[in-house]
């Protein structure tokens, strides 16, 4: 009797190793331990173990790319989306997947239960649904079947407008999910089709705690600056992954930052493009006006620095808990004012170091903004320093937390638990095409009221960036898989 293959995989220490060998950046502090790009076969055997079928080292956590590719290929005849482009797209992802996060599936619509409409955004609709079967995690070599992750309560189903004809935008957005290392970016698991509307739908990670605005509004407890710095670090890490893939998000705003418990994920890669691929003349000016960089409003090409401007607006919104420009119309007049230097007010309760970084991010000159790597380094440095009582950051935050906590309680009493404040009827926070013409070239205002609250913040911003150059770029300490398996989100 032929002996069954055995499970020869090794359990991975997620604090020591990445889950798969596609990332080439290391954390210098763990350079002797952390192996993130494993070319040497013997080292891969040491980290992942070997496949019980082919006796070759794995390409990721319990994953053998050659063996799984054969399995997927043998199964191609058993499913079809009835669309050649989608079939080929899914098949290629399965054949090339070096880890389960890069593997898409065609998921028949009948496998979903309790489908519920959630919302409609600028370019599509979102539903929630249960998928009891769950997504493929690895091949169970002893029981000869796919092991699936079944602990997620819900998934998100996203259909784009006019996706019945499968526009290139639909596959483009899914492709972006595959090209970006997914840690603080929402993951795509596959594609399905609504049999009634014939609309194709992406199957995405469902972030049950809503977007950044929901996270703030629904919090009945004061969110301290330490917590907010941690969240901003996670968001910067997601943006860094997008930019490291050579892309720009192009629609970066608080509505596209979703929370799974208290962990933020960047979503909606529909407008995400390769750097220098398209100009605004080709696609028009699109987005949410308060978060758009002034050079984009003027019709210049969208760059990674434009995403950094958006991060600055988001950072100020998160720290101040005030929605940008919520009391005025989001029209051409606002666009003109932004180009002339108008920015949201920086609260007097935001520590000086943080306010400094905000201003650096939304500088009218794109070249003056920090790179994504610099931004990540700064926030990582702060994340570490905030625990050290001897640092200036710790001292500033301790003092400002006392003041902000008192004001939070006053505001909570005034506006009820939801903290909702009436917004202008023409304040629009969904992505849309904007018809803007003949705007002035962007400048920094020399007379903005929010400069006074932090005593010449701008004069120290250059020092902030230079101080952080000695911090080496750290890649992801933990993979999303670690969170999935431990089922713990802090």
Output the pLDDT for position 23. 38
Computed over its alpha carbons, how large is the radius of gyration of the chain?
A: 24
Euclidean distance between CA atoms 134 and 48, whole angstroms: 24
Does 377 map to a domain?
Answer: yes
pLDDT tens-place string over residues 306-345 = 999 999 999 999 999 999 999 999 999 999 999 999 999 9
- SS3 at position 254: helix
pLDDT mean across residues, the chain: 82
Does 2 map to a domain?
Answer: no
Contact 472, 28 (CB under 8 A): yes
Q: Are residues 294 and 193 in the same domain?
A: no
Output the pLDDT for position 408. 83
- pTM value is 0.83
* CATH number, residue 168: 3.30.200.20
Output the pLDDT for position 316. 97
Q: Are residues 100 and 218 in the same domain?
A: no
Euclidean distance between CA atoms 203 and 206, whole angstroms: 9
Q: Are residues 189 and 270 in the same domain?
A: no
Euclidean distance between CA atoms 477 and 474, whole angstroms: 8
- SS3 at position 194: coil
Does 348 map to a domain?
Answer: yes
pLDDT tens-place string over residues 224-259 = 999 999 999 999 999 999 998 889 999 999 999 999
Token pair belonging to 17: 């190793």
Which pLDDT band holds residue 26 (cuts at 50, 70, 90)? very low
Output the pLDDT for position 461. 38
User: What count of other Cβ atoms lies within 10 Å of the Cβ of residue 452?
Assistant: 12
Does 57 map to a domain?
Answer: yes
Using CA atoms, how far residue 123 sits from 85, 199, 225, 287, in Å, is 21, 13, 34, 11
Residues of the domain holding 99: 8-205
Q: Are residues 37 and 160 in the same domain?
A: yes
Q: Are residues 162 and 218 in the same domain?
A: no
Does 476 map to a domain?
Answer: no
What average pLDDT score do residues 256-279 get?
A: 81
Statement: residue 487 has pLDDT above 50: no
* CATH number, residue 350: 1.10.510.10
Statement: residue 126 has pLDDT above 80: yes
Statement: residue 474 has pLDDT above 50: no
Residue 469 buriedness (CB in 10 A; 0-12 / 13-18 / 19+): exposed
Euclidean distance between CA atoms 311 and 299, whole angstroms: 20
Contact 296, 287 (CB under 8 A): yes
Does 472 map to a domain?
Answer: no
Of 205, 227, 253, the residue at which a domain comes to its end is 205
pLDDT tens-place string over residues 70-115 = 999 999 999 999 999 999 999 999 999 988 988 999 999 999 999 9
Does 230 map to a domain?
Answer: yes
Close Cβ partners of 70 (under 8 Å, ≥ 6 residues apart): none
Which pLDDT band holds residue 18 (cuts at 50, 70, 90)? low
Output the pLDDT for position 243. 92
Euclidean distance between CA atoms 439 and 456, whole angstroms: 28
Bridge partners (DSSP) of residue 202 are: 158, 191
Total domain count, the chain? 2
| Structure letter (DSSP) for residue 179 | H
What average pLDDT score do residues 124-151 get?
A: 94
Q: Are residues 24 and 112 in the same domain?
A: yes
What average pLDDT score do residues 212-229 get?
A: 93
pLDDT tens-place string over residues 376-425 = 999 999 999 998 889 989 988 988 998 888 888 877 776 655 555 668 98
Output the pLDDT for position 481. 30
Q: Which residue has the tokens 């950044």?
A: 212
Output the pLDDT for position 372. 96
Q: Are residues 219 and 243 in the same domain?
A: yes
Does 102 map to a domain?
Answer: yes
């Amino acid at each position: 009797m032929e002996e069954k293959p055995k499970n020869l995989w090794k359990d991975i220490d997620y604090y020591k190793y990445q889950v798969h060998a596609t990332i080439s950046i290391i954390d210098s502090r763990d350079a002797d331990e952390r192996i993130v790009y494993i070319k040497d076969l013997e080292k891969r055997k040491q980290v992942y173990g070997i496949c019980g079928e082919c006796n070759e080292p794995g390409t990721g956590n319990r994953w053998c790319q050659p063996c799984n590719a054969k399995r997927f290929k043998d199964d191609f005849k058993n499913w079809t989306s009835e669309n050649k482009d989608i079939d080929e797209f899914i098949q290629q992802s399965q054949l090339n997947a070096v880890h389960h996060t890069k593997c898409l599936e065609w998921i028949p619509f009948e496998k979903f239960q309790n489908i519920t409409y959630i919302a409609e955004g600028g370019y599509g609709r979102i539903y929630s649904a249960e998928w009891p079967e769950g997504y493929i995690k690895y091949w169970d070599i002893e029981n000869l079947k796919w092991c699936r992750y079944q602990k997620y309560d819900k998934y998100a189903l996203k259909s784009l407008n006019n996706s019945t004809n499968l526009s290139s935008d639909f596959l483009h957005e899914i492709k972006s999910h595959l090209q970006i290392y997914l840690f603080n970016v929402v993951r795509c698991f596959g594609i399905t089709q609504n049999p009634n509307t014939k609309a194709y739908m992406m199957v995405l990670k469902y972030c049950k705690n809503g977007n950044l605005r929901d996270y703030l509004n629904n919090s009945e407890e004061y969110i301290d600056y330490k917590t907010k710095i941690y969240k901003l670090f996670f968001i910067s890490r997601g943006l860094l992954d997008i930019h490291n893939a050579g892309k720009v998000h192009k629609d970066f705003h608080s509505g596209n930052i979703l929370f799974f418990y208290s962990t933020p994920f960047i979503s909606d890669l529909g407008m995400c493009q390769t750097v220098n691929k398209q100009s605004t003349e080709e696609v028009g000016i699109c987005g949410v006006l308060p978060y758009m960089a002034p050079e984009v409003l003027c019709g210049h090409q969208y760059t990674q620095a434009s995403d950094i401007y958006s991060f600055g607006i988001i950072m100020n919104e998160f720290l101040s808990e005030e929605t940008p420009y919520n009391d005025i119309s989001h029209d051409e007049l606002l666009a003109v004012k932004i180009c002339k230097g108008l920015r949201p007010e920086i609260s007097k309760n935001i520590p000086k170091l943080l306010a400094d970084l905000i201003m650096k991010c939304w500088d009218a000159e794109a070249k003056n903004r920090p790179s994504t790597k610099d931004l990540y380094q700064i926030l990582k440095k702060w994340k570490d320093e905030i625990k050290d009582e001897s640092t200036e950051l710790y001292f500033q935050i301790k003092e400002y937390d006392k003041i902000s906590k008192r004001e939070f309680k006053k505001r909570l009493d005034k506006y009820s638990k939801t903290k909702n404040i009436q917004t202008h009827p023409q304040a629009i926070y969904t992505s849309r095409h904007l018809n803007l013409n003949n705007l002035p070239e962007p400048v920094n205002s020399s007379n903005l009221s929010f400069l006074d609250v932090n005593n010449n913040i701008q004069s120290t911003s250059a020092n902030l960036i230079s101080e952080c150059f000695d911090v080496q770029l750290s890649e992801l300490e933990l993979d999303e898989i670690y969170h999935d398996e431990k089922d713990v989100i802090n």
